[in-house]
A = this chain, B = another copy of it.
Amino acid sequence: MAYKLVQGNEACVEGALAAGMRFFAGYPITPSTEIAEISSQKLPQYGGKFIQMEDEIASMAAIIGASLAGVKSMTATSGPGFSLMQENLGYAAITETPCVLVNVQRGGPSTGLPTLPAQGDIMQAKWGTHGDHPTVALTPNSVQEVYEYTIKAFNIAEKFRTPVILLMDETVGHLREKMLIKDPSEIEIINRKKPTCKPEEYIAFKSDDSIPPMAAFGEGYRYHVTGLIHDETGFPTNNSQIADNLIRRLVGKVENNIDDFSYYEEYKLEDAEIVILAFGGVSRSAKSAVDKLRSKDLKVGLFRPITMWPFLEKQISNIAQKVEEIFVAEMNLGQYYLEVDRVAGKYCRVEKINKVNGELITPDEIISVIGGKYELQRNN
């Protein structure tokens, strides 16, 4: 198969279709709009459906509805829309409805810098909805990865019955570069577990392995779904023991299974004394910076989390125990830094490299911070 020139947002749709997405509900917003547009064009060709809803709240609601009816579903948005989707994102989490939400980040807060890249919604992706809830968020850094990780996002959503956030940024969403569309036979597709019992035996939210099998509406398993705290049968309760079990199971099924989807890249980390931690668009600059800093004889490496949430605590803690300093480079004022500092700060220094002006952090900017500090140090 040959490479094609593809835009990040287009790759997202290709990945989604390959993963089995057959429903998309959305509301246009820069810089995610192409995802809706291309979905609207392609879905009917795959027998799937697109709908432009009246707003983002409705879009998120519609994909949950479609998923409950058995169809793999996705929506895409950016900052303002992401904020509006938060309430129903929590609903997807508590009702354990698989779905994928793409956020192509732009400059914020508020309307902010609609056409320019940012990574200002990293913490929002984890904490944007009220109450304790599970979060899975992935951050690809190339067009090829957008394709691959959109597929993985669907797989995680289906396997763990949870919403998955694909956290892109404008840099990656609007980037065009080469991409290889895989043959369907090469793609691993995971579908939600369906009940095999008789309908009268189906206990919709009971689970031994923490992820209950899921019947679609219309398949003969008539059950109840609610955003209230509910018991195993799906009905509301204020029972404190059940409430406790539910929340801990929901969060646990993601946190405890993180090894299943711990995606990251390590670049020249083996002997690194200094580590740049970066993701998404910025990680591309970081990789250039690593090479250039290495050429200055600084032992620099890159750790790039692709799984942003849950936090790759184990991996980052391990690295921290081996290195002198970690620089967290991100297009915000230091969001992911906080978790890195919490986990790594007990073992090594943790520093921030931040930019919030609508421009991608450049390799030179990273080099000047790290080079500046360490070359100086060496010269002293």
Contact = CB atoms under 8 A, between A and B. Distances in A.
Interface of A: 57, 79-80, 82-84, 86-87, 90-91, 93-95, 105, 107-116, 118, 120-121, 123-124, 126-133, 226-229, 238, 240-241, 243-244, 247-248, 251, 332-333, 335, 338-339, 341-342, 345-346, 355-359
- Chain B CB count within 10 A is highest, among A57, A123, A127, for A127
A243 B87 contact: no
A132 B118 CA distance: 10
A139 to B, nearest CB: 15
B128 A238 contact: no
Given A109-B90, A227-B110, A357-B243, A128 B120 contact: no
Contact of A356 (B84, B110, B247): B247
B238 A80 contact: no
Given A111-B227, A111-B228, 7 more contacts: A83-B90, A90-B110, A95-B110, A114-B228, A126-B127, A240-B357, A339-B342
Q: Is the interface of A mostly helix, strand, loop or mixed?
A: mixed
A111 B229 CA distance: 8
Given A111-B227, A357-B240, A124 B120 contact: no
A107 B243 contact: yes
Nearest to A103: B130
Given A83-B128, A131-B120, A90 B108 contact: yes
**This chain's copy number in the assembly:** 2
B357 A241 contact: yes
Contacts of A333: 132, 247-248, 251
A5 to B, nearest CB: 27
- Chain B CB count within 10 A is highest, among A130, A132, A342, A357, for A130
Given A342-B342, A358-B243, A112 B94 contact: yes
A82 B129 CA distance: 9
Given A227-B112, A229-B107, A124 B127 contact: yes
A109 B120 CA distance: 23
A128 B89 CA distance: 12
A347 to B, nearest CB: 10
13 contacts: A80-B87, A83-B90, A86-B86, A91-B109, A91-B111, A109-B130, A112-B228, A114-B228, A118-B131, A126-B127, A128-B128, A132-B332, A241-B357
Contact of A132 (B228, B240, B247, B356): B356
Nearest to A77: B130
A98 to B, nearest CB: 16
A379 to B, nearest CB: 29
Contacts of A127: 123-124, 126-128, 335
A131 B116 contact: no
